[in-house]
Structure 1
Amino acid sequence: MARNSYSIGILLIGLAALLLLGKLGFFHVLLSFFWPLVLLIPGLLFHVFFFNRSLPAGVLVPGGILTTYAIMFFYCNIFGWGSMSYLWPGFILGVAIGLYEMHLFDRGSDRGVLIGAMVLGIISAVFFGLTLLIHLGIYVIALILVVAGLVMIFRKRNVW
């Protein structure tokens, strides 16, 4: 009987600690920051199961997509959701990464998979470039002017 009450006492103390942590907002902060793990864990498990030869290569497509999106969402959790205004081409990139992984590791994949991955990757890169140019355009122009000035200063002088 004493052993049973000891176990119940520890259980009650643990339950009280969980209630207090919940009331202090510990779980809210933890879940609001680490919720992208809901995407990252299945994405990584798809990769693990494929490389352990448990699942076919087709699981690399959702694995690549979920892993890419989870990384983007972690970035937004750390640096703020305003950064999604220039990270949005990553949604296209996630599909390109998934398709490219499938092409890379599946010997029987069609050439169309590679073409689709490359087209989506190029579209994503173009959108990333345009988005960064729009958001950081003045800095890019200033950098180009500084480089042009340095080239003019340090180039070999030709006698005309």
Structure 2
Amino acid sequence: MEKIHKVGIFFGVLFTALGVVLLARIDVNYFWITLLLLFGFLFEFGVLGKGAGRFIPAGIFIVIGVVLLLCSVFGYDKMSYLWPMFVFAPGFGLFQAYLASKKRNLLRAASILLIISAVFFVGIFFKIGWARVLFGFILVGLGISILVKSFGRKSE
């Protein structure tokens, strides 16, 4: 019975949103963005999906929906500044899943994606030419630390 209720909520919200878009004569681009946000919030509030894993698609859909909404309002030329959000989106979803489950591997994966997107944002917004060099040093340091840990482990 609970599944039927959630399916009813899903289609009720979907048809209501579609009807509002048609009645308000909203541009079709906004409709697709609204659908992305709708799916994101349905995952976020547990209508679609169960457990901590539902937060990963929720975060991805919501962040990408917001980015596309900003581009629709202010122009798609802003995508040249906002593209790191596509790296940020899964990191945000993984971080939400970590907060719900407290699994450390989710935090590691989220941290890596969030740091990479932050480095890209620094390089874009401040037009720093050395961002590539900084990112290179970060990757070399990460690689060396992984190698040191790998050689430091005793084989079983």
Q: Show the 5 A alignment for 1:128-147.
A: 128-134=121-127
Unaligned residue ranges in structure 1 (runs of 5+): 1-21, 136-160
Number of equivalences: 106
Q: Which residue of 1 aligns with 2:38?
A: 41
- Cα RMSD between the aligned structures? 2.2
Could you tell me how far apart the structure 1 residues matched to 2:66 and 2:118 are? 17
Q: Which residue of 2 aligns with 1:80?
A: 75
TM-superposition CA deviations, 1:4-55 (whole Å, max 9, x none): xxxxxxxxxxxxxxxxxx9xxx74x5323332011100110001117x9x71
Could you tell me how far apart the structure 2 residues matched to 1:58 and 1:33 are? 27
Runs of 4+ with >6 A deviation: none
Structure with greater Cα Rg: 1
Unaligned residue ranges in structure 2 (runs of 5+): 1-21, 129-156
Could you tell me how far apart the structure 2 residues matched to 1:134 and 1:33 are? 31
Could you tell me how far apart the structure 2 residues matched to 1:40 and 1:48 are? 12
Could you tell me how far apart the structure 2 residues matched to 1:69 and 1:32 are? 13
Could you tell me how far apart the structure 1 residues matched to 2:36 and 2:30 are? 13
Letter in 1 for 2:117: S
Could you tell me how far apart the structure 1 residues matched to 2:91 and 2:106 are? 9
Q: What TM-score comes out, normalization by structure 2 length? A: 0.62
Q: Show the 5 A alignment for 1:1-160.
A: 27=25, 29-49=26-46, 55-107=50-102, 109=103, 111-134=104-127
TM-superposition CA deviations, 1:119-148 (whole Å, max 9, x none): 11011011011011229xxxxxxxxxxxxx
Residue aligned with 1:134, SS:
coil
